[in-house]
């Protein structure tokens, strides 16, 4: 972690030191304020791990004696250089062995982590918490557009083309709202045009859907978008497969997303997700249930890192909350609070953990059981939005009302 310059410390006073969040606007330091907001400096990809992944197995606090005390059967062993143990990152943290493919990213400095981030809302419901992360509005659970959609709406350089794309889920809330999103269903079928590839059929269908109602408009958009998708993916999949066999899971969706965003430069914001993280029982340690999820995740993230290689590209890996620091009675973990949040990108000050970390001693845990939330997830996301994408203060404040600029994270993004 980089120490704060002394001048900033003085400015911050005691509020940050005590870990409380200040009500107020997201005010980035002047030096980073941009004259013209633009999202064309790079592309943003959000990967949501639905079900609350166990960050304490991904980013192992290996030198903390409380870690193995709290997790007698599921702790990932301290690094000893073999594949059965975690992989040392620094004096405090180590990587789960199934995440080994991410090690080169860490070493080259394009992978960074915030070990104890989360939502200010204390809900332990997956569905409510996911809603908060997807709207960026943790103080309300009512309907509001997703924050990626609202972000896209703020881009003044946006053309009339569709800027948002999701691969996998039918209609993720984070993308939903007034700005149009391309939604690509999961699986190989995404590369096929189907019956609308036939001119006569397409014309007949378009006539049936020629009205000005929402259904008809959506259908017509769908025809246009699907013809494009199938063309772009067909070429990509033929080129990429090259005898390698079909990739499954996140890595396939990562490749599809990359191919489509490459083919259509208007697409600037992408969304992927992976599920199966709600490990209440028998989650395993170096191997097992969770390890297989991590292996899938690592492959997907490595793919994204390879495909999103422009200076301004950024990948965010989020999950709705963390899991209990201690294992439960079934060798699993229950719903917790703070969690590790990851960023991948050329402008990320990678190879280090950013923000505060207080260890797992009982007195430092939330309600005596969970990693606390030491950094508001919105304050984490605001850093690259301001400093990579140039989103100005007032827009940040509109996007994440009530969140506060967190200066202890000012080292997260490198100057371009």
Nearer to another protein, 70 or 381 (CB): 70
* CA distance linking residue 21 with residue 362, whole number of Å: 22
Is residue 201 involved in binding another protein (CB under 8 A)?
yes
The tokens for 123 are 């809900």
Cα separations (Å) of 35 from 15, 148, 393, 394?
Answer: 30, 22, 10, 12
What are the two backbone dihedrals, phi and then psi, of residue 273, each rounded to the nearest 5 degrees? -145, 160
Specify whether the CB–CB gap between 409 and 354 falls below 8 A: yes
Is residue 4 involved in binding another protein (CB under 8 A)?
no
Is residue 323 involved in binding another protein (CB under 8 A)?
no
Is residue 233 involved in binding another protein (CB under 8 A)?
no
DSSP states of 351-383 as a string? Answer: SSB-S----S-GGGSBTTTB----EEHHHHHHH
What are the two backbone dihedrals, phi and then psi, of residue 294, each rounded to the nearest 5 degrees? -60, -40
Q: Shortest gap between Cβ of 322 and another protein (angstroms)?
A: 15
Q: Shortest gap between Cβ of 225 and another protein (angstroms)?
A: 5
Contact string 240-259 vs another protein (x = CB under 8 A): --------xxx---------
Is residue 287 involved in binding another protein (CB under 8 A)?
yes
Is residue 143 involved in binding another protein (CB under 8 A)?
yes
Is residue 140 involved in binding another protein (CB under 8 A)?
no
Nearer to another protein, 238 or 330 (CB): 330
What is the number of other CB atoms lying within 10 angstroms of the CB of residue 262?
14
Q: Shortest gap between Cβ of 209 and another protein (angstroms)?
A: 6
Is residue 370 involved in binding another protein (CB under 8 A)?
no
Is residue 74 involved in binding another protein (CB under 8 A)?
no
DSSP conformation class of 246: -
Is residue 24 involved in binding another protein (CB under 8 A)?
no
Is residue 317 involved in binding another protein (CB under 8 A)?
no
* CA distance linking residue 179 with residue 374, whole number of Å: 33
Nearer to another protein, 13 or 211 (CB): 211
Is residue 225 involved in binding another protein (CB under 8 A)?
yes
Question: Which positions from 324 through 363 interact with another protein, judged by CB under 8 A?
Answer: 328-332, 334-335
Nearer to another protein, 119 or 347 (CB): 119
User: Cα(first)–Cα(last) distance of the chain, in Å?
Assistant: 20
* CA distance linking residue 135 with residue 410, whole number of Å: 24
50, 354, 378, 387: residue in contact with another protein (rule CB under 8 A): 50
13, 24, 65, 185: residue in contact with another protein (rule CB under 8 A): 185
* E strand residue ranges, 230-294: 269-274
Instruction: Mention every residue, 6+ apart, whose C-beta is less than 8 A from residue 220.
Output: 206, 209
82, 139, 161, 361: residue in contact with another protein (rule CB under 8 A): 82
Is residue 144 involved in binding another protein (CB under 8 A)?
no
Stretch that binds another protein, among 6-14, 41-49, 150-158, 225-233 (CB under 8 A): 225-233
Sort strands 339-345 and 111-118 into parallel, antiparallel or unpaired: antiparallel
Is residue 189 involved in binding another protein (CB under 8 A)?
yes
Specify whether the CB–CB gap between 105 and 350 falls below 8 A: yes
Is residue 292 involved in binding another protein (CB under 8 A)?
yes
7, 35, 199, 207: residue in contact with another protein (rule CB under 8 A): 207
Is residue 303 involved in binding another protein (CB under 8 A)?
no
Is residue 176 involved in binding another protein (CB under 8 A)?
yes
Instruction: Mention every residue, 6+ apart, whose C-beta is less than 8 A from residue 50.
Output: 126, 130, 273, 274, 275, 277, 319, 320
* CA distance linking residue 222 with residue 213, whole number of Å: 14
Stretch that binds another protein, among 36-44, 257-265, 272-280, 386-394 (CB under 8 A): 272-280
Is residue 127 involved in binding another protein (CB under 8 A)?
yes
Is residue 186 involved in binding another protein (CB under 8 A)?
yes
Is residue 66 involved in binding another protein (CB under 8 A)?
no
* E strand residue ranges, 43-202: 44-49, 59-60, 87-88, 94-95, 111-118, 164-168, 181-185
Nearer to another protein, 26 or 274 (CB): 274
């Amino acid at each position: 972690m980089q120490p704060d310059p002394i001048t900033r410390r003085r400015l911050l006073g005691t509020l940050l030191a005590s870990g409380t969040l200040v009500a107020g606007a997201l005010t980035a330091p002047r030096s980073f304020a941009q004259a013209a907001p633009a999202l064309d400096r790079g592309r943003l990809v959000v990967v949501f791990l639905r079900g609350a992944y166990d960050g304490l197995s991904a980013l192992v606090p290996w030198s903390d004696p409380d870690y193995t005390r709290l997790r007698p059967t599921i702790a990932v062993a301290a690094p000893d250089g073999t594949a059965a143990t975690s992989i040392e990152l620094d004096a405090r943290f180590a990587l789960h062995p199934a995440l080994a493919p991410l090690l080169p990213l860490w070493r080259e400095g394009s992978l960074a982590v915030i070990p104890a981030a989360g939502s200010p809302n204390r809900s332990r419901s997956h569905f409510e918490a996911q809603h908060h992360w997807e709207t960026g509005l943790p103080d309300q659970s009512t309907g509001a557009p997703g924050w990626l959609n609202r972000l896209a709406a703020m881009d003044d350089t946006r053309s009339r083309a569709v800027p948002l794309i999701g691969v996998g889920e039918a209609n993720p809330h984070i993308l939903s709202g007034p700005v149009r999103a391309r939604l690509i269903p999961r699986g190989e079928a995404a590369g096929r045009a189907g019956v609308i590839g036939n001119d006569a059929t397409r014309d007949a269908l378009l006539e049936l859907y020629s009205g000005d109602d929402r259904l008809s408009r959506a259908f017509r958009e769908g025809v246009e978008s699907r013809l494009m998708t199938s063309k772009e993916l067909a070429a990509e999949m033929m080129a990429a497969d090259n005898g390698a066999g079909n990739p499954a899971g996140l890595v396939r969706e990562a490749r599809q997303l990359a191919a489509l965003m490459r083919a259509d430069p208007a697409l600037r914001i992408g969304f992927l997700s992976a599920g199966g993280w709600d490990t209440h029982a028998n989650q395993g340690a170096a191997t097992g249930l969770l390890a297989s999820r991590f292996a899938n995740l690592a492959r997907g993230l490595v793919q994204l890192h390879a495909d999103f290689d422009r200076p301004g590209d950024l990948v965010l890996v989020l999950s709705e909350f963390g899991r209990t620091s201690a294992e439960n009675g079934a060798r699993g973990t229950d719903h917790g609070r703070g969690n590790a949040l990851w960023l991948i990108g050329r402008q990320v000050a990678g190879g280090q953990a950013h923000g505060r970390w207080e260890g797992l001693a009982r007195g430092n845990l939330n309600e005596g059981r969970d990693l606390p939330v030491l950094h508001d997830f919105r304050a984490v996301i605001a850093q690259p939005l301001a400093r990579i994408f140039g989103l100005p203060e007032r827009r940040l404040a509109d996007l994440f009302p009530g969140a506060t600029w967190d200066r202890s994270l000012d080292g997260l993004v490198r100057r371009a």
